[in-house]
Amino acid sequence: MPIQEEATVVVPSEDPVKSKKEEEKEKEKLADGKDDNKGEGEELSEEDLQLRNELEMLVERLREPDHSLYKPALETMRGLIRTSTSSMTSVPKPLKFLRPYYPELQELYEKFAGSVEDKGLFADILSVLSMTYSTPLAGHTTLTYRLDSPHPSPPGDWGHEYVLHLASELGAEYSARADKGDSPSSPEMQKLSELAEECAKWFLGHNAEADAVDLLAECECIGKLADLVDTVNYARVGRYMVSCVSLLIPPDDIAFLRTAHDIYLRQSRLPEAIALAIRLNDPTLIRADFNTPANPHMRQQLAFIIARSQIPLVWLAENPEEAATDDVLTSLPEDLVSCLSNINLSTHFKAFGKELGVTDPRSLEDIYKSHLEPSSARSVPAQGVDSARQNLAGTFVNAFVNVGFGNDKMIAEVEEGQSWIYKNKDHGMMSAAASLGVSMLWDTEVGLGQIDKYTYSEEEYIKAGAFMAMGILHTSVRTEIDAPIALLTEQIENKSVPLRTGAIVGLGFAYASTHRSDVLAILLPLVAEETLTMSLAALAALSLGFVFVGSCNGEIAGTILQTMMEREPTQLTDKWSRFMALGLALLYLGRQEAADATIETLRAIEHPLAKQAQILVDICAYAGTSNVLKVQQMLHYCTDHITKEDKKDEPAEAPAEGSAGQANEEKKDDDDTFQAFAVLGIGLVAMGEDVGAEMSLRTFNHLMHYGEPIIRRAVPLALGLLSTSNPQLPLLDILSKYSHDSDLDVAANSIFAMGLIGAGTNNARLAQMLRQLAGYYGKEPDCLFVTRVAQGLVNAGKGTVTLNPFFQDRGMMSLPAVAGILTTLIAFIDAKSFILDKSHWMLYYLIPAMYPRFLITLDEELKPLPITVRVGQAVDVVGQAGKPRTISGFQTYQTPVRLATTERAELATEEYIPFASVLEGLVILEKNPGWEDEKMDI
């Protein structure tokens, strides 16, 4: 049989006959006046048919050679389009009927022979019609025709949709021209800017503030916004702009802050304005804002905000570089001085504690609750754990729990010789004596007398601890006596290392963020002195970093860089050298590009310390900015090192796991340390914004899985930094898992991070986790010590203080607080060399971050005024229509009240008007003059 050949039949995807039939039907529909967009066979209404015929007639008139017909035809067409676009639920009929004639109208426009005025009107109509016909290939036709018109009508006359469409093309066109290199001052760019301003004005008048801000930002003229806002929309514009800052890169973020500041200032919203001036770190703006109000009570409220943010008081002088703090304070009225100096902070805090019923001192057993631990664990400490180490842990727990109340039964209110200090050995006595400063925190009147008696002790460790306590006592507080500098200066030259250490650290605590030149003169020679041990030089640099935090002080930076270049490489390899690098980094905290020159200088230094310093300066400069590029850069440091070490994986892992302290591996560990700083950097940069913080969790998960031991050690600390004093369940679960890690360094750091996340919250779930860990690590003295410290932190201030560096509704960042937390975390990266060795006193670096988490309302004489407030979870209302609720799930309390990190308060009635924009900390109220009348009407 012959083989049949296969035949190939080509079948088109669409039926050609059917398509021809459809075309014929379409023609019939059009001929019969049926609407192609309506249901099959449905005819146009009489009105629509009349409108379509009228529009066709108008187009026909534009084809005529008689010029006198053009103007009436165009005006009629404009009228028909405008009446239809005023309310837009679907494509307007005139635009729909004119769409088939668009190409023809374009040709008529090109050949148009009428007057200039008529041509402008024609261009206006084509600009609107382009909305229905614009394609990517067609270009920005709406904008092009708009710009062609010599006297275009206001954009809003054509409706909301037209303005939106025009704004989108306007932004794209401006960006395209800027990319080509067009100058902003060129006539074309100026024309675009003017049109953007016109559209923005319309947006602001029609509740589309976000669109206005976005358009002006795209056209690089955000500064013009301050002239366009009014009393109705300034609040919504300001909120939106401030919320955008964390999503922008420099210099746009600074431009947004400055514009928002101008808007608030013009509307006389001084609390909001000074908050943004402090965020900008601009002494001139802060001074101008502080001196603006005529109302003395408003100035007092601004003084409370300045005191909370701990900015240098010299910034309030005309010449901050030449002025001294004392000169500033003497030139101001007494009531303002007391507000700026935080003198009454201790009084308010103790009254707050009394109101909450937590003034009675807590014992260690109240915190540990050993009876709740597993019975097998309770008997372990007596057998396997060093009692001195447990006493030392008790020192920190007692200090943190009873912070600021000054009445604990172990150190403050005991007879001479019976003090807990004497239950510690050597260096333990130093931490125990320093804890007196924590217990007496902010209460300089009583505290000085209590601490003074220990400065005459024969035991040098107790004396050193007393000097440190002197500094801790004055944290966040300025006094007329100025005791720390008077008492500690002479000890700087003492031959005893512990005494010098106590004095240097004490000065750093007492004058954090004051920019005091007299402290600079005392400490700077220690940094430059080559014969001094690295530990003292590094601590002097760190204290200078605290005193001049965020100042970009060139003299200190130059001295530290010079020291790094001139010291012997063996000295720079010392474990303390990282704190010299941190001292340099703190000078640039939050200053972004200002650190670039220092980073370039560090690149020229070959020693591994320079790379650590480079990363520290970089992450501090962008702390809390949520800058994505910096996070990527830090991740690159983490992966980059792994790539290099791939070939020698095995020898690299062995020493890092077990014998990190061995001399022959010391250099290797120092080379590794920069990675740990990079991990902390991710947390430090991302902590300012919720979305960035959430995204970084996934990154940390990957680093924990695939990172080397030094990276894994730093990940829990970075998690603690992300959510300080804000216990979130997902984070607690992650850290609980890491706290049982086979690497005890990771476990210890995880436990400390748990304490940091729950600091001052009394979180019951976290307390239960830590009790279980105390039983689990009963035979591991290091982990048990850290667990006890974490228990103390969770109960810090008996639930009345916070360590979170953000305040004013999480809109402002306290630089000394960030510096203190970061210093403690860097000590924990190599905990066995610092916290778990003889430098456990470094835990006190958390104290500059401690602040009461209260809301106390005051009357106009600054006396407590109990009123009713609602406290609930803060709700983000940026961009929401109307007046939405700013809190949810609220409860009603009488002030003073305690506020958690994510909570917000609002007044329950309108009886009083607050001077502050955010109800947090100390708030002054004035009586609402219209309240009585309203009450009578009701």
Average pLDDT value for residue range 369-378: 62
- Are the C-beta atoms of 899 and 855 separated by less than 8 Å? yes
Same-domain pairing of 637 and 731: yes
Q: Which range among 132-146, 584-598, 647-661, 804-818 shows the weakest confidence by mean pLDDT? A: 647-661
Same-domain pairing of 739 and 760: yes
Confidence of residue 136 (pLDDT cuts 50, 70, 90): low
Average pLDDT value for residue range 673-691: 91
Q: State residue 137's pLDDT score.
A: 52
Using the predicted structure, report yes or no on whether residue 649 has a pLDDT greater than 50: no
Of 819, 836, 851, which residue sits at a domain end? 851
Confidence of residue 14 (pLDDT cuts 50, 70, 90): low
- Where are the alpha helices (H) located in 181-319, listed in sequence order? 187-205, 209-218, 225-228, 234-245, 252-266, 270-280, 283-291, 296-309
Query: Does any domain span residue 369?
Result: no
Average pLDDT value for residue range 10-36: 51
% of the chain surpassing 90 pLDDT? 43
* Cβ count near 755 (within 10 Å): 26
Residue whose pair of structure tokens reads 């890169």 in the numeric block: 249
Same-domain pairing of 838 and 710: yes
Confidence of residue 135 (pLDDT cuts 50, 70, 90): low
Average pLDDT value for residue range 429-449: 90
Closest CA to 149 of 117, 173, 181: 117
Using the predicted structure, report yes or no on whether residue 347 has a pLDDT greater than 90: yes
We report the CATH number of the domain holding residue 811 as 1.25.10.10
Q: Which residue has the higher pLDDT, 919 or 652?
A: 919
Using the predicted structure, report yes or no on whether residue 661 has a pLDDT greater than 60: no
Average pLDDT value for residue range 76-84: 80
Q: Which range among 347-361, 376-390, 416-430, 479-493 shows the weakest confidence by mean pLDDT? A: 376-390
Q: State residue 13's pLDDT score.
A: 54
Tell me the pTM.
0.87
Dihedral of the alpha carbons of 52, 58, 59, 62, in degrees to the nearest 10 = 180
Q: Which residue has the higher pLDDT, 253 or 40?
A: 253
Same-domain pairing of 89 and 184: no
Same-domain pairing of 864 and 776: no
Q: Per-residue pLDDT tens for 442-451?
A: 988 888 888 8
Using the predicted structure, report yes or no on whether residue 820 has a pLDDT greater than 70: yes
Of 341, 368, 390, which residue sits at a domain end? 341
Domain range for 208 = 154-267
Query: Does any domain span residue 785?
Result: yes
Considering the chain, what is the average pLDDT of its residues?
A: 84
Query: Does any domain span residue 471?
Result: no
Query: Does any domain span residue 558?
Result: no
Distances from the Cα of 696 to the Cα of 180, 616, 628, angstroms: 36, 19, 10
- Are the C-beta atoms of 166 and 137 separated by less than 8 Å? no
Average pLDDT value for residue range 820-832: 94
3 state SS of 209: helix
Q: State residue 43's pLDDT score.
A: 67
Q: State residue 375's pLDDT score.
A: 53
Same-domain pairing of 277 and 258: no
Same-domain pairing of 802 and 784: yes
Q: State residue 922's pLDDT score.
A: 93
Q: State residue 640's pLDDT score.
A: 65
Using the predicted structure, report yes or no on whether residue 160 has a pLDDT greater than 50: yes
Q: Per-residue pLDDT tens for 462-508?
A: 999 999 999 999 999 988 888 888 888 888 888 889 999 999 999 99
Q: State residue 363's pLDDT score.
A: 84
- Residues 6+ away with beta carbon under 8 Å from 881: 207
Confidence of residue 165 (pLDDT cuts 50, 70, 90): confident
Q: State residue 821's pLDDT score.
A: 96
Query: Does any domain span residue 517?
Result: no
Distances from the Cα of 564 to the Cα of 99, 412, 545, 627, angstroms: 73, 42, 16, 29
Q: Per-residue pLDDT tens for 757-776?
A: 999 999 999 999 999 999 89
Same-domain pairing of 715 and 829: yes
Confidence of residue 273 (pLDDT cuts 50, 70, 90): very high
Q: Which residue has the higher pLDDT, 111 or 535?
A: 535
Average pLDDT value for residue range 551-555: 91
Q: Per-residue pLDDT tens for 298-316?
A: 999 999 999 999 999 888 8
* Cβ count near 144 (within 10 Å): 16
Same-domain pairing of 761 and 872: no
Using the predicted structure, report yes or no on whether residue 15 has a pLDDT greater than 60: no
Confidence of residue 348 (pLDDT cuts 50, 70, 90): very high
Confidence of residue 386 (pLDDT cuts 50, 70, 90): low
Same-domain pairing of 321 and 222: no
Q: Which range among 61-70, 216-225, 621-630 shows the weakest confidence by mean pLDDT? A: 61-70
% of the chain surpassing 70 pLDDT? 88
Same-domain pairing of 81 and 54: yes
- Are the C-beta atoms of 897 and 909 separated by less than 8 Å? no
Average pLDDT value for residue range 851-868: 92
Q: State residue 20's pLDDT score.
A: 54
Closest CA to 849 of 512, 499, 350: 512
Of 835, 851, 867, which residue sits at a domain end? 851
Same-domain pairing of 717 and 861: no
Average pLDDT value for residue range 332-337: 88
Average pLDDT value for residue range 854-864: 92
The number of domains in the chain is: 5
Query: Does any domain span residue 466?
Result: no
Q: State residue 12's pLDDT score.
A: 57
Q: State residue 480's pLDDT score.
A: 82
Using the predicted structure, report yes or no on whether residue 101 has a pLDDT greater than 60: yes
Average pLDDT value for residue range 543-553: 93
Using the predicted structure, report yes or no on whether residue 817 has a pLDDT greater than 80: yes
Confidence of residue 5 (pLDDT cuts 50, 70, 90): low
Query: Does any domain span residue 17?
Result: no
Closest CA to 574 of 608, 597, 527: 608
Q: State residue 475's pLDDT score.
A: 92
Query: Does any domain span residue 88?
Result: yes
